[in-house]
């Protein structure tokens, strides 16, 4: 029996409604030392939280931004209709642009804005924004569960899984994407273990993935990013599963920097390389990975990494937050709608169309 004892996992929620109507997030910058929740009341507070990675992970920032838009709209309820619409649309634009790479952010805000019927009163618009944000959260929870149920078929008994960054519960509204098959395997009493590279510079692997897996009772080992080749060279890994911030129409995948290196190393060692993501991460409008905007991080995250100088104070730094893994290196993409295998062809676009059609059905 695995660490969860075959029981359903109940990981902490990255984002939820606060009882008094704000947006309640777990401040992930403080993990694993401190577990502190914050309640946010405006678009500006949420933009700060997204940029600082207090809330992070592609699905979670989309959900959190949609919820913040609803909360922000409440602040403007007494404005005349035109001014109210302008204030909400300004907040929507600013929230969408808080981070550039994860398509879920703009996708969720677009969905929320589209939920407002033309001619709505301010109160009706606010209700529509709240309803749609709750729907996005609920759907994401269900998508994570489905990704887990589909993805678990790819895990041999005793699976040794290598991941990157955190694509677990704390990056989503549910049990994660890359970690969802791991949680489902553990719930079913199968042996499974995870290897988590630190994920420099902000250590989402060692601070967050290791924390949430330990909490769920799933065995986890942390390694430095530079130890990944040695690990694969020692045949200690059965498969790699990572999440995604955006998947282009041809199957190229943007994810946390270091993912591309993992994919190259997995190919060199004949280890399958899987990407797990909900359809909200598919971007049929971007033909290839070359069109995905890559966020560059503040150089001081590298120069002053651990509260002290970790490089010369003014040295030039190259710090992309994400990289792009070419589709050719990907064994399969697991979404809530199925497992896509290469050549991906029109599969990404078809899944986007199917999920939109399903949502439009009365």
What six digits make up the tokens of 203?
């250590």
Strand partners, 196: 222
Q: How far is the C-alpha of 172 from the C-alpha of 31, rounded, in Å?
A: 16
DSSP 295: P
For the bound state, the minimum distance from the C-beta of residue 57 to ligand MRU, rounded and expressed in Å, comes to 4
Q: Quick one: 128 or 278, whose CB is closer to ligand MRU?
A: 278
d(CA 278, CA 173): 11
- Cβ 47 vs Cβ 98: under 8 Å: yes
- Closest to ligand MRU by CB, 225 vs 245, is 245
Find the shortest distance in angstroms from Cβ 252 to ligand MRU: 15
Least distance from C-beta 99 to ligand MRU, angstroms? 7
* Nearest residue relative to ligand MRU (C-beta): 243
**Least distance to ligand MRU from the beta carbon of 204, Å?**
5
If DSSP codes are grouped into helix, strand and coil, which group holds residue 296?
Answer: strand
CA–CA separation, 109 vs 129, rounded Å? 10
Catalytic residue among 24, 140, 225, 245: 245
For 31, phi and psi rounded to 5 degrees?
A: -75, 150
Cβ proximity to ligand MRU: between 60 and 115 the closer is 60
Cβ atoms of 278 and 336 closer than 8 Å: yes
**Residue 270 is among the residues annotated as catalytic for this protein:** no
Complete DSSP assignment for 28-53: GGGTTT---EEEE-SHHHHHHHHHTT
What does DSSP say about strands 15-17 and 220-223: parallel, antiparallel, or unpaired?
Answer: unpaired
Q: Please, which residue, 177 or 331, has the CB nearer to ligand MRU?
A: 177
Binding site for ligand MRU (CB under 6 A): 53, 56-59, 102, 165, 167, 171-172, 177, 204, 243-245, 255-256, 321
State how far the Cα of 146 lies from the Cα of 149, in Å rounded to an integer. Answer: 5
* Structural tokens at position 271: 């280890």
Residue 75 Cβ, how far from ligand MRU at the closest point, in Å? 27
What is the closest distance, in whole angstroms, from the C-beta atom of residue 125 to ligand MRU in the complex? 29
**Which CB sits closer to ligand MRU, 256 or 337?**
256
Distance (Å, whole) CA 176 – CA 141? 8
Omega before 265 within 30 of 0, i.e. cis: no
Nearer to ligand MRU, 22 or 243 (CB): 243
Write b or e for each residue in 66-102: b if 16 or more Cβ atoms lie within 10 A of its Cβ, otherwise e: bbbbbbbbbebeeeeeeebbebbeebbebbbebbbbb
CB of 174 to ligand MRU, least distance (A): 10
**Contact indicator for 324, 286 with CB cutoff of 8 Å:** no
**Residues tagged active-site:** 245
């Amino acid at each position: 029996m695995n660490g969860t004892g075959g029981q359903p996992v109940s990981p902490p929620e990255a984002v939820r409604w606060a009882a008094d109507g704000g947006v309640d997030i777990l401040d992930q910058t403080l993990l694993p030392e401190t577990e502190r929740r914050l309640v946010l009341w405006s678009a500006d507070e949420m933009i700060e939280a997204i940029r600082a990675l207090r809330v992070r992970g592609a699905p979670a920032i989309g959900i959190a931004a949609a919820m913040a838009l609803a909360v922000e709209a409440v602040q403007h309820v007494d404005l005349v209709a035109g001014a109210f619409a302008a204030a909400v649309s300004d907040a929507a634009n600013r929230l969408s642009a808080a981070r550039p790479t994860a398509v879920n952010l703009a996708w969720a805000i677009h969905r929320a804005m589209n939920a407002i019927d033309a001619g709505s009163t301010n109160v009706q618009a606010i209700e529509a924004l709240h309803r749609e944000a709750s729907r996005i959260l609920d759907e994401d929870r269900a998508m994570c569960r489905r990704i887990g149920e589909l993805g678990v078929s790819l895990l041999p008994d005793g699976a040794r899984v290598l991941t990157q960054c955190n694509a677990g519960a704390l990056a989503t509204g549910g049990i994660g994407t890359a970690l969802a098959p791991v949680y489902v395997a553990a719930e079913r009493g199968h042996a499974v273990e995870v290897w988590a590279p630190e994920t420099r510079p902000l250590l989402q692997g060692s601070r967050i993935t290791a924390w949430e897996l330990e909490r769920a009772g799933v065995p986890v080992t942390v390694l430095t990013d530079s130890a990944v080749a040695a690990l694969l060279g020692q045949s200690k890994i059965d498969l790699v599963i990572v999440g995604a911030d955006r998947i282009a129409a041809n199957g190229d995948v943007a994810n946390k920097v270091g993912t591309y290196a993992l994919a190259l190393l997995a190919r060199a060692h004949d280890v399958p390389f899987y990407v797990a993501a909900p359809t909200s991460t598919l971007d049929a409008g971007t033909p290839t990975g070359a069109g995905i905007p890559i966020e560059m991080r503040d150089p001081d995250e590298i120069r002053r990494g651990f509260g002290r100088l970790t490089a010369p104070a003014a040295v030039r730094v190259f710090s992309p937050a994400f990289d792009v893994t070419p589709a050719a290196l990907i064994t399969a993409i697991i979404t809530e709608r199925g497992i896509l295998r290469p050549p991906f062809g029109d599969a990404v676009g078809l899944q986007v169309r199917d999920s939109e059609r399903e949502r439009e059905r009365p």
